[in-house]
Amino acid sequence: MQNDDGTRSVDIRVSPDGKFFRYYENVWTTVGDDELLYYPDGGFWTNPEMSGYYASLEDCEGAARACIAWLANAS
């Protein structure tokens, strides 16, 4: 799931044993011109939100939509 401008996304991942699900929010952070030496792509990805484990994919997706404001407003 990704927002319209591509600067935010949510990944849902399954645990190694295949029994649980967890979501991760990814946010693109743009840097200023003085930091391009360190971040030549113009920025970097961060993970400000990571959930606990959920027993079903549906519960995990529902929790992500309820907890992440921009995702709740997405169609």
pLDDT, tens only, 17-35: 999 999 999 999 999 999 9
Task: State which of 33-37, 38-42, 57-61 shows the largest mean pLDDT.
Answer: 57-61
H/E run at residue 61: helix 57-67
**Structure tokens given for 69:** 């404001």
Identify the three-state secondary structure at position 53: coil
Predicted local distance difference test score (pLDDT) of residue 59: 97
Q: How many residues does the chain have?
A: 75
The answer on pLDDT for 75 being more than 60 is no
Predicted local distance difference test score (pLDDT) of residue 71: 86
CB 48 within 8 A of CB 33: no
Backbone angles phi, psi at 27, to 5 degrees: -130, 130
The answer on pLDDT for 74 being more than 80 is no
Predicted local distance difference test score (pLDDT) of residue 14: 97
